[in-house]
Amino acid sequence: MKKNDLDFSIPKRQSQAAIYLIIYNRFRNVISRFWPFLLIALFTGDLSFKNPDGFTMFIFGLTLLTGVFGIIAYFRYYFWIEGNQLMIKKGVLNHALTQIPFDRIQTIDFEQNLIHQFFNVVGLKIETAGSTQSEIKMQALQKEEAEALRDFILSQKVTAAPTEEEAIELKNQDTQLIYKIDFPILLKIGLTENHIRSGFVILFAIFWFVDNIQEAGYDFSEVGDEYYNRILGSIFLIGGLTILFILISMMISVGRIFLRYFDLRLLRSYNGFKVINGLFNRKEVAALDTKIQILSWKQNMIQRWLGFHDLQLKQASSAQLSTKKSIVVPGVNTTDIEKVKELLFPERDEDSVEYYGVSSHFLWRPILIMSIIIIPLIVFMIIQQAYPTLAFLVIFYIGFIIQRKKKFKKTYFGLNDQGLFVRGGVFGHSRWMTMHYKIQSTEIKQTPFQYRKDLADFIVHTASGSRGIPYIKLSEAEYLQDYLTYKIEISQKEWM
Amino acid sequence: MNPFNNPQIFSADLNSVSDLEFEPLENSYRSVLYIGNTIFFAITGTVALSIYFSVKDELPYFIQVAAAVLFFTLLIFSFLSIHFGFKNKAFAVRQQDIFFQTGWLWKSKTVIPFKRIQHSEVSQGPIDRMFNLGKLRVFTAGGSGSDLTIPGLSFIKANQLKDFIISEITTGKVSYEEE
């Protein structure tokens, strides 16, 4: 290999093997999208090259076009290194110049499929902490070249992000047990899975069924006792089935919970958390403190009665981490949560947090919109005398109003000079917290209605998901944006 | 640097977003949007018409009318939102962050501190090229929802902005105390 090949300061193209890979990929793409049609065409003998029909022509045209585009794209794709950055210039119709500072590069992965191997090249995947959309892919580079590029970038990185090795190291450290699931809690978790929803669906099915019987001519007021009893019987049958169904679904979830969460332990090492769980299949998820962006916990109505929560430690979700995901700890009580909070965000100072509610329009606006939709429907059902459906609609409408009311009463956001705290929930509770320095960016959004009323939604983006605070005063949202942006900018701490 | 240096800040001292003077996009970007929109509706219109002529005998009259009304409503709305929404598209760059606001009826205003930018990109579509415009994109770790795209900048300005941002994120770990 010429020395010149390893000089990355001049713009260069990928290996020419990339052309074959591009053609192969495009071809595979088209085939995978249209294979059912192709199969049909093949079997019916429609796929004739002498007399192609419109569709065949279309597919072949498309393949050809994308192939040509791919090849042009290859010739227009250049990469080079300028200072401490990787530069990429590309695009056929849409030209783009991308600049990636080495410091922000998280991982550089090689991939090698059969075609890669044949040409002795590798595909390159360069990930920053951003979304999958923002990762850089190169089709094919000479293996030596790719290794040189990777080594160069990694050697030039000033700050090293926590690496896989550190996470592995975490696994072998001395740990301290924070929480261990016990049998009664396991049982409670299994029993309190959300069965209400399935019950509701079945309830709707009953109303629908009765309604259809009426339409089919069985009017309850006119049919004789015998028919009446028979229908009543079938209602009882359905009711019984509902209960049976809920029972079965409970048993299934108890079993599933046992398999999944058996002997769950939350462990603490000096710079991270680790959770181990599972009966046959022991699963272990580790997270360094620096990677955890959000702490949240919630309980539904029944969990509230029984006094336990589901706790979640959300990790930065770059593509590299997506398989490991967040740490989920079910069945914890408030003392456990306090312990985790103290370890993860010792600076949070929750006593100084001031909480603010949201505008009452958050309650009335959805109710108004729902009313506009549902009241005409209710009137229509009254005229049609479809009482079971009517009953369902009314129950649904009242339920909706109660739900909105509960939700409005429980939605709060709180702020102090360390973190942002959001409370929510409908029949239960949910809590969400992050520290200012973990926030990536903030956004103020306004619908036309909110604009008229000087209201806004405020959205906080972190590396492990976004959280909105709905219907607050525009001035509050602007203050939050100013303040949080300022706090991010002065913070000395890295978010990861 | 002293990690415990944490002077109190009074809210009145914060630079307020509402006082920020936003810079408009290049006027020619309006034409880019109009041309793009026209092309889009020309293509969808042609496809819709060809579908219409092949199935019109089987379609009830009111569906035909509804489809036409829907099509023209979308068409008119998209042009109106370009026309009235254009003046709301604006950006602002401060020493440590970048703002972009957009939207005609549904408005939004996003801010990204330079510190949180992972990488950035300037791109130029075929219509942009006719008007010598560029599009600046900055990526954060917050997922696609928190990425920022500022279209309709002159190509030179887009590149200058990108260079400025990149130089800030690579060299500058500037904090307020140091100024």
Question: Average pLDDT for residues A20-45, to the nearest whole number?
Answer: 76
Torsion sign (Cα): A343, A346, A348, A352: positive
- Contact status of B24 with chain A (Cβ, < 8 Å): no
Contact assessment for residue A105 and residue A153, using Cβ atoms and an 8 Å cutoff: yes
Decide if A98 touches B, using CB distance below 8 A: yes
What band does B179 get if pLDDT is binned at 50, 70 and 90? very low
Q: Are residues A279 and A406 in the same domain?
A: no
Confidence of residue A385 (pLDDT cuts 50, 70, 90): confident
A148 and A192 part of one domain: no
Q: Give the whole-angstrom CA distance, residue B4 versus residue A496.
A: 19
Residue A163 lies in a domain: no
- What letter represents residue B32's amino acid? V
Kindly provide the residue ranges of all beta strands, DSSP E only, lying in A14-149, ordered along the sequence: 78-82, 85-90, 95-101, 105-111, 121-128, 136-142
Q: Does A124 map to a domain?
A: yes
Both A143 and A201 in a single domain? Answer: no
> Please, what sign has the CA dihedral across residues B128, B131, B137, B143?
negative
A149-168 residue pLDDT tens: 888 888 877 655 555 555 55
Domain boundary, last residue among A291, A322, A343:
A343
Interchain contact B116–A (C-beta under 8 A): yes
Q: Does A5 touch chain B (CB under 8 A)?
A: no
Residues 415-444 of chain A with CB under 8 A from chain B are 439-444
Chain B residue numbers touching A488 (CB-CB < 8 A): 113, 115-116
Split at pLDDT 50, 70, 90, the class of A171 is low
Q: Which amino acid is at A26?
A: R
- Per-position b or e across A102-117, b if 16+ CB within 10 A of its CB: bbbbbbbeeebeebbe
Among A288-292, B25-29, B38-42, B100-104, the range scoring the smallest mean pLDDT is: A288-292
A315 and A379 inside one domain: no
Owning domain of residue A300: 176-343
State residue B59's pLDDT score. 80
Whether A142 and A274 map to the same domain: the answer is: no
pLDDT at B170 over 90: no
Residue B9: the pLDDT is: 59
CB contact under 8 A, A96 and B140: no
Q: Is A461 in contact with B139 (Cβ distance < 8 A)?
A: no
Decide if pLDDT at B2 tops 90: no
H-helix or E-strand containing B98? strand B97-102
Quote the pLDDT of residue A49.
52
| A432 within a domain of the structure (yes/no) | yes
State residue A320's pLDDT score. Answer: 46
Query: What amino acid is encoded at A214 in this protein?
Result: Q
Going by C-alpha positions, the residue among B119, B144, B116 that lies closest to residue A98 is B119
Helix (H, G, I), strand (E, B) or coil at B164: helix
Q: How remote is the C-alpha of A87 from its chain's centroid?
A: 30
pLDDT given for residue A282 in this prediction: 82
User: Length of chain A, please?
Assistant: 496
Indicate if the pLDDT at residue A45 is higher than 80.
Answer: no
> Are A150 and A74 within one domain?
yes
Please report which helix (H) or strand (E) contains residue A435, including its range: strand A429-435
Which SS3 state, helix, strand or coil, does residue A235 take?
helix
Min mean pLDDT across A42-51, A273-282, B18-27 is at A42-51
Residue A141 maps to a domain: yes
pLDDT class of B174 with cuts at 50, 70, 90: very low
Give the mean pLDDT of chain A: 83
Q: Can you read off the two tokens belonging to residue A139?
A: 């089709």
Q: Is there a single domain that holds both residue A65 and residue A195?
A: no
Which segment, A146-160, A453-467, B162-176, is predicted with the most confidence on average?
Answer: A453-467
Of all residues in chain A, the one with the smallest CA distance to B2 is: A492
At A415 the pLDDT is 93
- A with B: how many residue pairs have Cβ under 8 Å apart? 164
The answer to whether the Cβ–Cβ distance between B141 and A316 falls below 8 Å is: yes
The mean pLDDT value for B147-155 works out to: 93
Q: Do A93 and B126 touch (CB under 8 A)?
A: yes
What does the pLDDT read at residue A312?
A: 92
Amino acid in the structure at residue A111: E
Angle between helices A196-215 and A387-410 (to 10 degrees): 160
Q: Which of A75, A103, A85 is nearest to A14 (CA)?
A: A75
The domain ranges of chain B are 28-85, 89-178
Domain count, chain A: 3
Say yes or no: domain B89-178 is CATH 1.10.3470: no
Task: Render pLDDT for A195-251 as a digit per residue (tens, 0 to 9).
Answer: 666 666 666 666 677 666 666 655 555 555 666 677 677 777 777 877 887 788 788
Q: Is residue A285 part of a domain?
A: yes
Question: Which of A77, A134, A416 is the best substitution to test chain B (most B C-beta atoms within 10 A)?
Answer: A134
Q: What is the CATH number of the domain that holds A382?
A: 2.30.29.180
